[in-house]
Amino acid sequence: MALAFESAQFIKSAAQLNDCPADVGAEVAFAGRSNAGKSSAINCLTRQTRLARTSKTPGRTQLLNFFSITPTTRLVDLPGYGYAKVPQAMRDAWHRNIDGYLRERMSLVGIVLVMDVRHPMKPFDEMMLEWSSQADTAAHLLLTKSDKLSRGAASGTLARVRNRLPPNATVQLFSATTRQGREVLADRLTDWLAEPAPE
């Protein structure tokens, strides 16, 4: 039975690691390029239209945004990687914060790597997969905007990406518009965030 993602609530935004909520419990981070649809995926998962901020302008998410699911489980919307129209120094600071979060956050149990099904496995995606594999952190790839392709083309991309994945990673098709794959994602995150049974 999936967690009640519909109950998600915004906790806080963090500009740097020491601004994050207490590093306890379990959390899953959403990462991806600025235009891949991270915030839309979070809103679809939680069945809320405005929980995570979406924008036509890539790079709108500039902070680490934390959302509670239960008192001990959270989702995290990481700053988008890519071509946000901001000074290079600010982009460099965002990426340092992402790197510090991924390396030091003890409650991180998995990463949802969001990529446009029409443009999968860009250098950033490859880098994130390599990091997750080295860190032995579970990764789940969302091939978003699957409604933009025919069923055959989307399935072909899914197969090609699946063949390139390390053992710690899984992949699925997803569309925030049609909600395709929403339940698959909810089940995956429930597995990651489930509290261990008492011994």
CATH number where 161 lies: 3.40.50.300
3-state DSSP of the chain: CCCCHHHCEEEEEECCHHHCCCCCCEEEEEEEECCCCHHHHHHHHHCCCCCCCCCCCCCCCCCEEEEEEECCEEEEECCCECCCCCCHHHHHHHHHHHHHHHHHCCCEEEEEEEEECCCCCCHHHHHHHHHHHHCCCEEEEEEECHHHCCHHHHHHHHHHHHCCCCCCEEEEECECCCCECHHHHHHHHHHHHCCCCCC
Q: Is residue 198 one of the residues assigned to a domain? A: no
Q: Is residue 14 one of the residues assigned to a domain? A: yes
Question: What is the pLDDT averaged over residues 180-198?
Answer: 85
Residue 152 sits in which domain range?
A: 5-193
Q: How many domains does the chain have?
A: 1
* Model pLDDT for residues 85-139, shown as the tens digit of each residue: 566 776 676 667 777 888 899 999 999 999 999 999 998 899 889 988 988 899 9
* Model pLDDT for residues 158-184, shown as the tens digit of each residue: 999 999 999 999 999 999 999 999 999
Q: Is residue 199 one of the residues assigned to a domain? A: no
